[in-house]
Structure formats: structure tokens, C-alpha cells
Chain A
Amino acid sequence: MIRKNTLQRLAAALVVAGISLATPARAADPVTVTVWSWTPVTPTMNAMIAAIEKAHPDIHVQAQIQPHTAYSVSLQAAAGSGNLPDIIGLSPGAETQQYRPHLLKLAAVAASLWGADWQKNFAPSLLSEARFGNPPGDDDFYALPQEAQINNFWYYIPAFTKAGLDGPPKTMAELIADAEKLRAAGFIPFYQGGATGTFDVWVYLEIAVQTDPDSMAAAEQGAPVWTKPGMVEAARAWQQLFTDKVFQPGALSAVQYPTGANLFAAGRVGMISLGSWWLQQTQLSDQPGLKTMSDYGTFTFPALQPGGQPAGPIGGVDFGWGITDASAKSPEVLAAAKIVLHEMISGVGEREALNQLNDLPAFAGISPTQTLPPHLAEIYDTYIKQLGTARTHVIGNPVINQSLITGLQAIGAGQMTPEAAMAAVQATAVAQGGTK
């Protein structure tokens, strides 16, 4: 009798469970959109997700943020096994091109989100970089930028004051003299994380934008113009930073992150190559001078010749987002993914990121809702203005990029002359199929 009752209860439970499983998801169940990236940092991403989910209760965003190296490996494995998430974070150029076969074309999506003239919302350098490496004739977009950056040099005002300097250097001669004074005052004059190849390239480009901006822009897109006089002149100036002891000794063994950034934040360094993303330090530090940036200032590479003009700004896409073909498997998920993309680039998501000063907005007209201290607001506004005229800052072809890193490090180590190093990069660019 007991056994019969037990069996009856078990059968009833199974029927109920079966009915539950067979019932379709309620209309109110949120659609899940999966997002993978290496940036922004997890707290910022979480704040963005909370804002997006609050604005769209019918969408659930499931994000995974990993360090870039681990992210690259995960992405490759996921792409190979057909398990990509719906939205992925991308750098312009090689990374976007690598996953292009798995990415949806976004020009039409952007038009549906922001109108037919949607491109006016993005600076020219951002639109240019977003399409770096597209096959000839393909003008579509496979990733759209959420945030932009300006690359420049920062200086620590108390160090300059202690060294008897009243502002950043305006010429190369002043840069060399200032470095000597900063060293004498007990500071690392100009910290360069030379082992971090990306920063070597950025400093080189920040010089080349002064010596031959057009060749620089062409070189970034793969043209073999590395032996043009202006490009070699920039390499000579790069060499001078080592030979005239502007960079600290052993710069080629130093890393920009975390060591360089930490030393700069600790007030041990006079000058360093960073960019607009450094503004996020205001949210991470309790030091008054950092919290308001009152102890810090920015400058572009000084004029190489007396009486010359300092370099103009370089910059472009910090990071962007692509929608993968995985999302297209379900109309609901695809629709939700487009909404998430919209919110991350121009909506509540981006506003959250901006309030944490994660970097600069790629989409025009958005600004932080918080009131910034005057000095910080001035730096921020300058960056926004520079974004409109900045030259691009990415070498589109990763093989040429690596060749440039090797050449610049060889110059710094005294193994190659600037002429020989640029000739080697030129040979790589030619081998990669670039045409003069």
C-alpha cells in the first residue's frame, strides 16, 4: 500500500515536472545576450550592464571580461568550435579582421540605430580605423567603436617645479635639457616601457606625425613608405631619446604597465607616454593630486627643430564591439544584441563608462554626467577637441607592426641604425604585399 502510494506520488511528480519542462518560456523571460571582452574593467562593465538591464528589463546581459591575452586565446577557441558569444570586444585592424568571417556587417545596423547619416557621430579617425584591413572594395563596418583614445605624453607638475621647470618642453632641445634637470632633481626623467612594444610604436608615431603625417597614415594602412625621409627622421629622433638619455637607462627592459604607470602615479617619474585613458586614475586613487589631476598635465611631442611646431595629436579607437553570427541564430537574440550595442556605444551603458572616466566617448555629444574639477575638465575638453583632428594610431598589419617594434628596439639597443631599421620594416611591408 505504501509502495503504491509512493509510486503514485512519483508518477504525479514526473507528470508535473514534464509539464513544467514542456511549457514554453514565458514572454516576460529576459533574452540573454552574451558579451566577451578584455575591456572595460569588470566594475565598469558591471555598471554598464546594470544600467542596460534597468533600461531594458527584457534583456539580460551575460558578460565575461578577461585579460587580453587570455581573451585572445578564448576567442580563437570559441571561433574554432562555433561557440562565439553574441557580442565581442575588438581592437581595430588585425583583431577585427581575424574575426570578420564571424561578424555581421554593421553599416546597415548602424543606420537603423542612429539614422542614415550615422557616420557624422564618429570622428574621421575612428571611422578610418574601424575599417583598417578590410578587403579592397569592402567599406562596411565589422566593429563599431564604443570608446576612443588620444595618445600623448603626461608630465608630473611637482617634479617639474622641483627641477625648476615651468612647463612641458616645447622643443627637442628643451626635452633633452629638461630630462637632465629632472634626473638631477632625483626623478626618472622620461619613463619608457620599451619592452611593451605597443608603446614603442605609439611614441614613434607621435614623432612621425610631426615629420611626415601623410606617409605615416599610408604606412599604417600597409603602404611600404617606411624609408621616406620623414619616417627615417622620426626614427632618428627615437634614437636620440636613448642616446641623449631622455629615456631612463634600461628602458628596453621596462614595461609600461604596471611598473611605469605605478611609478608615475607614485610621483617618481617626470614624463611618460600614456593617453586619455590615464584619466581613469581619478576614479582609482585617493591622492588629491591624482583625484583631480591637479598634479598632472599633458603635451604632445615637442618640435624637433627650434621654432617648429609640436606634433599634432594621434588617436583613434580604444575598443569597439562586433556582433557575431552566433546572435543571428535567433531573431530575438539578434534584436536584443542590437539594443545592447546601441546602449554600449551611445546610450546608458556608455554614460556609465564615461562617469568612471574609462576613456573618451567615440560617439559625439555624450559627456559624463558628473561635474569634473576645473583642471580635469580642461584636460578632458582638450582631448575631446583633439579627437576631431587626431591622426590614426594603429599599424593595421600585425606583421609590419611586429617588424616596427623589432626595428625600434634594435635602434634603442644600438644594434641597428635608424636607416637600417626602417629599411628592414620597409622590406617587411613589401613582403606583405604593400605597393608603393
Chain B
Amino acid sequence: MPAAAGRRRARAGGGTAWLYAMPALLMFAVFILYPIAANIIESLVDAHGSATAANYQQAATDPVFWTALRNSVVWVVLSVALETAIGFGLGLAIAMYIPRAQALFRTLLFLPMVITPSVVALVFTTIYAPDYGLIFGLFNSLGLGGSFPAILGDPATATVGVILVNVWQWCGFFVLMYCVGLAQVDRELLSAAAIDGATGFALVRHVIWPLLRPATTSLIVLGTIQALQQFPLIFLMTEGGPANSTQTLATYIFQTGFTLNEMHYASAIAVVLFVLSLGIIMLQYRWGQTQQTADA
């Protein structure tokens, strides 16, 4: 009897739990699941509503799509690698060598995060500008004005130029997260490692870095999502040019959907971006789990 009563209570409790969860589930269904499903359906029909795979075939033969796909991958790899390296390095330096000024440096490095991307884009377009930009001025004062490169005007350097701006804006967040992670590291553990002879690079490589792996995994996932969905910086600094050389999937979705009015094709590209994001994040989680198992 008590067991049956327990099951009844559990069933009743389960029903209540579903009731409480219902608003959030409804929101999730309406604003996340439905748009994803609607987008997939849009990508599989033509302008007359007939089922077709033509939008995906168009992507396969569209050189701008492949440029956008390649650039999206470059964005993830370069952006996340630089943000992680700079964030970890600066976070470690601040936590280990200037702990008293930690709050000040964390605030200063975090400041770019609160600036709206449109302002950042405008400022850096001017900083990069040949002929009147800040960096050109420095080159010019050294007598090197004539050899100053048109960073955003050259298809070979434009993508990297925008990625560096993104890294500048986001690395403060990585520093902050690593500082928080380092603050949670047990000092006795570090002392014990030092007694065992682990100092300098060995201490960082074999003790601190593994201890911060959960933070690193989270930051890589966040950085990947941010890099894949980056739109304003690219749009405002280069509009995807010159000659489509800085298009990413996010900007190309906008161009095809809203400039060229090819909504079905844009939906197909959005599905590719969705699959790419999902794939990269699943790989990263798998990597994080493998590393944790290895550490254990």
C-alpha cells in the first residue's frame, strides 16, 4: 500500500512538474522548434511551394556559398583559438602576478564587450583605413606610409582583419572567465605541485590547464556560437566584400534573403549553418568529455 501511494504521489508530482514546465516548453516550441522546422520546410520548397532539393543543389554549385562556408570555419578556428590563448594567458598573468589589480584589469579588458558592435565597426574601419587611419598615421610617422596595407580592402587580409576586431572585443570575456576559474583553484594543490617540482610552464601545462578544462570547454562552445553568428561587424566593416571575400554563412543568408530576395535559398543556407553549428558543438563536447575521462 505505501508503495502504491508513493507511485500515485510520484505520478501526481510528475503532472505538476509538467504543468510548471509548460510555459517554458511552450515558449521553446513556439520560438525555437517551430522556426527551425519552418526554416527546414522553406528550404525544401521552391517559390511556387513545390517540394524540391534545388536550393541545396544551388548551394553546391555556388562559389560564394563555398567562400562563406570556408570563412565561417576560419572564423571559428581563428577566433576561438586566439580568444582562448589570449584569455588564458592574460587571465593567468593577472591572477598570478598582479592579483591586487585583478578587479581593475578585468574591468578594463571587459569594457569592449559592452560597446555596441556598430560603434566598434565604425571605430576600427577608421583605425584600419589607409590614408587617414590611426595605424596608417603610425606607419607614416615612421616613414612607412607608402607600404601600409589596405587590410580591409584586400581580399587576402580582410577576413583576418575583421576577426581580429572580434577577438579584441571578446577576449576580455575569456580573461574574466579564466580569472574566475583560477580563483577556484585550490592554492594548497598548487603548493603541493610546486613541492613536487612542478613550476613555471610545467605547473601551467600539467596542473592549471587541466584544472581549467571545464571553463575552457564552455568558453570554446560560447566562442564558437558567437563566431558563427557574427553578423554586424562583417556587415558594417566590409558588407561581405571586397568581391564577397569576407562573406560568412550569416552574412550570406542576409544577402540572399533580404538583398536578392531568394528566401528559399537563404533558408537552405541557414539549415547548413544550423547543421554546422550543431556538428562543431557536438565535437567539442565529445572532446571535453574525452579529456575529462583521460584526466580521471
Contacts and interface: CB of A to CB of B under 8 A. Distances in A.
Interface stretch (B104-112, B126-134, B272-280): B126-134
Contact of A94 (B131, B155, B239, B261): B261
For chain B, the bracket of interface size reads 20 to 34
Interface residues of A, number: 35
Contacts of A253: 125, 128-129, 150-153, 158, 237-238, 242
Contacts of B155: 413, 415
B258 interface: yes
B153 A252 contact: yes
Nearest to B255: A402
Contacts of A248: 130-131
Interface stretch (A6-14, A188-196, A218-226, A348-356): A188-196
A255 B240 CA distance: 12
A249 B153 CA distance: 8
Contacts of B152: 195, 250, 252-253
A259 B243 contact: no
B213 to A, nearest CB: 39
Interface in B259-285: 259-262
Contacts of A413: 153-155, 242-243, 245
Interface stretch (A51-59, A271-279, A404-412): A404-412
A259 B258 CA distance: 24
A407 B158 CA distance: 17
B214 interface: no
A267 interface: no
A65 interface: no
Contacts of A252: 150, 152-154, 241-242
B217 interface: no
A300 B94 CA distance: 59
Nearest to B156: A413
A374 interface: no
B158 A410 contact: no
B130 A195 contact: no
Interface in A299-348: none
Which of A197, A248, A254, A410 has most chain B Cβ within 10 Å?
Answer: A254
Contact of A263 (B132, B153, B154): B132
Interface string A99-133: 00000000000000000000000000000000000
Nearest to B158: A253
Given A252-B150, A415-B155, A409 B243 contact: yes
Given A250-B130, A398-B259, A197 B153 contact: no
Contacts of A409: 241-244
A243 interface: no
A405 B241 CA distance: 9
Interface in B210-243: 236-239, 241-243
Interface in A233-277: 248-255, 258-259, 263, 268
B41 to A, nearest CB: 15
Interface in B116-143: 122, 125-126, 128-132
Given A195-B152, A250-B131, A413-B154, A406 B239 contact: no
Interface of A: 69, 72-73, 76, 94, 98, 188, 194-197, 248-255, 258-259, 263, 268, 398-399, 402, 405-407, 409-410, 412-413, 415-416
21 contacts: A188-B132, A195-B152, A195-B237, A195-B238, A195-B239, A248-B131, A249-B130, A250-B150, A250-B153, A251-B153, A253-B150, A254-B129, A259-B125, A259-B129, A398-B260, A399-B260, A399-B262, A405-B241, A407-B243, A409-B244, A412-B242
Interface of B: 64, 122, 125-126, 128-132, 148, 150-155, 158, 236-239, 241-245, 255, 258-262
